[in-house]
Amino acid sequence: MHGICHGTVFLILEKFILKNLKSWFKDQCIPRVVYIPFFIFKIFPIPFGVLNKSHKKLESNSSTSLCLEAGIHGWESIEFKELYQSACEYLGDDSVDKVIINRDTCYVKQIKKVILELQPTHYFYDPRTGSQKWYVGVWQAYRIAWLFHINGIIPVVLLTDLAIRSWRVQSGIVTAKRGCVISFVSSREVAPIFPHRRLISPSLMPLSEKTIEFLSDLFSQRPTTPSRKAIFTGSLYEPRTKILNEIKNKLSKDGYCLDIKGREMGGVRVSDLDYWKNLSHSLIVVTTADQLNSKNADWCCIQHMIYRYLEVIASGSLLIAPDVPGLRRYFLADEHFVSFTTSEDAAQKIRYYLDNEDDRSRIAKQGKERAQALVAARTFWLAIDVCLQSDSLT
């Protein structure tokens, strides 16, 4: 009998240990895999002449020349249109060049050609642009990092989804020696899984002053009696879809409406004008901040500051969204937007602010003024310059 009991206890302990060991390996070891390729390039021996050249070339240039590379969606995407326009406003049109990547041609060779022809001082790199195969993407990152280094080019990496392991690895390699990484999840939260501290995170979306003016004009055209409902617009994925449907069902029971204007990931986007109209002409816009659950991602439970925070608040509508880590350096809950923690909390606040116009208008107005001030102050670009220090754009 004692033998059976001891055997049972041993099996339970064995399962417990194996389960915890597996969890530790998955949650703590695998996310730190980025450190290995990062340090390989970080300590890679560089010939003295090349090292000297890479540090002197930037100093010898009289002005900044910035190349912007569009990611997987290309230059038709709002985020890259805003990136380009805001860069031109910050540096001047003559200092900024678009890089159009042809997916049927070798990615690294195209970057090399751009470097030879335009001789930029800084290059905006997006890990979504190259190969999405793990080993190919990492090899491309090594080659690009070497090209940047020997030509004295400062990389600025736009890492929209830090949780995606392969993109995080590529970003770490490209900025191993110089440059910075822009992300939208709090650097304090993800510091253990990113190999250096030149991380601007969370960052605002690079919204341009031109678009701020356009949004003000659009807001002035809002119908005098807009639809008495809340909306969501954007990509649908889990757990976002589940949360939105829960909010919608809770509202519908009391006669309120959440209009979900969603699309599947990779689906056809609405036109830019329709997108901005949806935001500006709505009383309330709701969003979640959850990251996409993926087997190739780490620490997805950390909420991130998606573009819609700035887009909605700048449009003049009331934003109802989670108060994500790091957001308070830009916007304050109940002053510039309204925060929620659960679907029940979100439904309750939507009901209240649909019924209370004064409170809704006051917070939306304060938020719009704050967004305009952040864009006018060039917050996105100044954060890059502060992080780059002597390698700054200006």
Identical topology for domains 33-182 and 209-376:
yes
Q: What is the pLDDT of residues 292-326, one digit of tens each?
A: 878 889 998 899 999 999 999 999 999 999 999 99
Q: Which fold has domain 209-376?
A: Rossmann fold (3.40.50)
Percent of the chain with pLDDT over 90: 74
Q: What is the pLDDT of residues 8-23, one digit of tens each?
A: 655 665 566 666 667 7
Rounded to a whole number of angstroms, the CA Rg of the chain reads 24
Residue 44 confidence (pLDDT)? 76
**What residue spans define the domains of the chain?**
33-182, 209-376
Residue 8 confidence (pLDDT)? 67
Q: Which fold has domain 33-182?
A: Rossmann fold (3.40.50)
CA 241 to chain CA centroid, Å, is 19
Pair 122, 57: CB distance under 8 Å: no
State the Cα angle at 327 between 325 and 329, rounded to 5°.
120
What lies within 8 Å, CB to CB, of 225 at 6+ separation is none
> Tokens 């642009």 belong to which residue?
129
> Tokens 């639809």 belong to which residue?
227
Strand order, beta sheet including 258-264: 258-264, 230-236, 284-286, 318-321, 338-339
What average pLDDT score do residues 329-345 get? 97
> Tokens 């997006």 belong to which residue?
126
Q: Where are the alpha helices (DSSP H) in the chain?
A: 2-24, 35-42, 48-60, 78-91, 107-118, 134-150, 165-174, 187-190, 209-220, 240-252, 272-280, 308-315, 343-355, 357-376, 379-388
Of the candidates 145, 281, 264, 274, which has an alpha carbon nearest to the alpha carbon of residue 223? 281
pLDDT exceeds cutoff 90 at 56? no
pLDDT tier at 186 (50, 70, 90 boundaries)? very high
Of the candidates 189, 155, 140, which has an alpha carbon nearest to the alpha carbon of residue 37? 140
The pTM assigned to this predicted structure is 0.90
Pair 330, 388: CB distance under 8 Å: no
Q: Which of 68-72, 203-207, 279-283, 330-334 has the lowest mean pLDDT?
A: 68-72
- Look up residue 312 and give its amino acid: V
Crossing angle, helix 308-315 and helix 272-280, to 10 degrees?
A: 60
Pair 318, 337: CB distance under 8 Å: yes
Q: Tell me whether residue 84 is exposed, middle or buried, using C-beta atoms within 10 angstroms of its C-beta: 0 to 12, 13 to 18, 19 or more.
A: buried
Residue 63 confidence (pLDDT)? 86
